[in-house]
Amino acid sequence: MAKKAEALTSAYDELMAKAKEITILQTAESIIHWDMETKMPPKGIKLRSQQLALLSRIEHRMTTHPEIETLLSKTEKHPDYDTLSELQKRNVYLTRKQYDEQTKLPEELVVETAKQQAITIDVWKKAKAAKNFSTFKPELEKLLTLKKKAAKILMQVKATATPYDALIDIFESKMTAEKIARIFEELKKGLVSIITKCTNASKQPDTSFLKRNISLDVQQKISNELAKFMGYDVESPKAGGRIDETEHPFTTGYYDDVRITTHYYEDNLASSLFSVLHESGHAIYEQNLKPEWIYQPIGTGCSSGVHESQSRFVENIIGRSREFWVYFFPKLNELTGNAFSNLALDDFVRAINHVRPSKIRVEADEVTYCLHVIIRFEIERQLIAGEIRVADLPEVWNRKYNEYLGVDIKNDSEGVMQDIHWAAGAFGYFPTYALGNIYSGQILISLERDMPKWRHQIEEGNFNDIKKWLVQNVYQYGNLYDPAVLIKKTTGVEINVKPYLEYLNTKCSWIYGY
């Protein structure tokens, strides 16, 4: 019996050693991607695309090596398999899932996709700056063809109903487009009702002062102060984070090296302010996973939707709350040389929470934001199904923006080219933004139950106790559960749109007096 137990332990330990090597390679890839977006000179794209293609080839060979199948089989078929802990079984399950999916994908498809993603992102940046969709279109078509090939293959191994479901599963395990469509229909009805009440209200916030010029160096100092409030260290000798500037804000990294980016505009302080809060929400989730789970499959965030719930929770539920600005508004005035000292606190809070349909998702207010996401979900669902072509995207996009948000798109840079996601091949990711908002509403209910005085703590500048609660109820579980299971464990109920809509309605009724 002892020898059998040793054999099981040995196979499992070897499997986790392989998982560690793969994880280390993936973290190196993430830093190369970070460099491509932040520090790489323009001429470097040709070499960078080849570097990423080679790393993808190496990673694919590592994840599909026959030895992993041997170790998995030894572990799964061992007569004492049931003696493994819940954590160990989850590690085995996640490794098996990755192995089965990756072995079905041809190596050349993986390599070509990685290379094309780098090229498409580079062309997207130039096309967006030039407001010229025609130069972006052929590269996006190439990438879409590759992603659709992968989706059809993954559809079989994941046993999903459609290729698009297979892509969604990459970001939100066990979620389907059909379920998302039902959830989004309820969400859309609730949002339209709130938007109507806000736009029809006689009491409208003055937002003109948000366009006051704030120098970029001052905005960088504000970013560092926001990070400090969150406990995201970017300044000390032991810092595990940093803030850089990119075309599109993002977070990347792992445990002790998690980096965020933002975009500064002198006449739009709110843009960097809320993007830093958003990305810091991602970062502190990554940095507060269980340290003993590092390099294991369970030692990652649960899903993109859960990740977005944490970033949107910090950005909006904390960052746009009156309580946060009771604490931070004096600091903002100090840092900006009293640029907003002639404003009443409540006028500032109402302005940063104004509801106004707009063209740009990342600049959207909290209420209309999910409509931007719903538009993207509907478009990419049709795109993957072959119901629309890449050439149709500008027309479809502009029509939906007029129908859903009542805005007219003047050029494709403020339209279909505003996001990096499709250029990066992240089809299936967009729905997770809205799912994250919904999750954040449910998490808020649980927080208020357990910490009824949390708002007072924010007024005092204390985010640490709230973060401890998030660690205990969300972060510490890593990827131990599928997202639907984690949300039910944290909130006690299945995914539910109502708490998020109630949170928005309560806030907006104060802002607009309806």
Closest CA to 404 of 396, 412, 394: 396
The single residue listed with the structure tokens 């990459």 is 170
Q: Identify the pLDDT of residue 112.
A: 97
**pLDDT for residue 3:** 66
Check 59, 112, 279, 380 and give the catalytic one: 279
Tell me, yes or no, if 279 is annotated catalytic: yes
The mean pLDDT value for 4-18 works out to 90
pLDDT beyond 70 at 64: yes
Q: Is 1's pLDDT higher than 60?
A: no
Dump the DSSP string for 403-441. Answer: HHH-----STTTTTTS-STTTTT-TT-THHHHHHHHHHH
Nearest CA to 137 among 127, 152, 129, 146? 127
Would you state the torsion angle of the CA atoms of residues 289, 297, 437, 209, taken in this order, to the nearest 10 degrees?
Answer: 60
pTM: 0.95
pLDDT at 473: 97
- Specify the 3-state DSSP secondary structure of 243: strand
Q: How many Cβ atoms sit within 10 Å of the Cβ of residue 25?
A: 16
Residues 6+ apart with CB under 8 A from 478: 289, 290, 293, 298, 299, 300, 301, 302
User: Residue holding tokens 């030692």?
Assistant: 299
pLDDT per residue as tens digits for the range 238-272 = 999 999 999 889 999 999 999 999 999 999 999 99
Query: What is the spatial distance between Cα 48 and Cα 121, in angstroms, rounded to a whole number?
Result: 12
Q: What is the average pLDDT score of the chain?
A: 96
| Alpha helices (H) along 231-344 | 269-287, 304-312, 322-335
Q: Is the pLDDT assigned to residue 305 strictly greater than 70? A: yes
List of residues 6+ apart from 11 with CB closer than 8 A: 71, 74, 75, 78
Say how far apart CA 123 and CA 150 lie, in whole Å: 22
pLDDT at 259: 98
The arithmetic mean of pLDDT across residues 422-439, rounded, is 98
The residue whose two tokens read 């290379």 is: 115
Q: Calculate mean pLDDT across residues 206-228.
A: 97
Residue 113: how many other CB atoms lie within 10 Å: 21
User: Cα torsion at 12, 18, 22, 28 (round to 10°)?
Assistant: 120
CATH code for 177-512?
1.10.1370.30
Positions of CATH 1.10.1370.30 in the chain: 177-512
* pLDDT, tens digit (0-9, with 9 covering 90-100), for 132-147: 999 999 999 999 999 9
Would the pLDDT of 4 be above 70?
Answer: no
Q: Which helix (H) or strand (E) holds 244?
A: strand 243-245
Read off the pLDDT of each residue in 89-100 and give the average, rounded to a whole number. 98
* pLDDT value at residue 6: 81
- Closest CA relative to residue 226, chosen from 268, 279, 267: 279
479: burial class by Cβ within 10 Å (0-12, 13-18, 19+)?
A: buried
User: Of 1 and 372, which is predicted with more confidence?
Assistant: 372
Cα separation, 327 vs 272, whole angstroms: 19
pLDDT at 121 over 70: yes
Q: Does residue 215 carry a pLDDT above 70?
A: yes
**Segment 470-481, tens digit of pLDDT:** 999 999 999 999
| pLDDT of amino acid 186 | 98
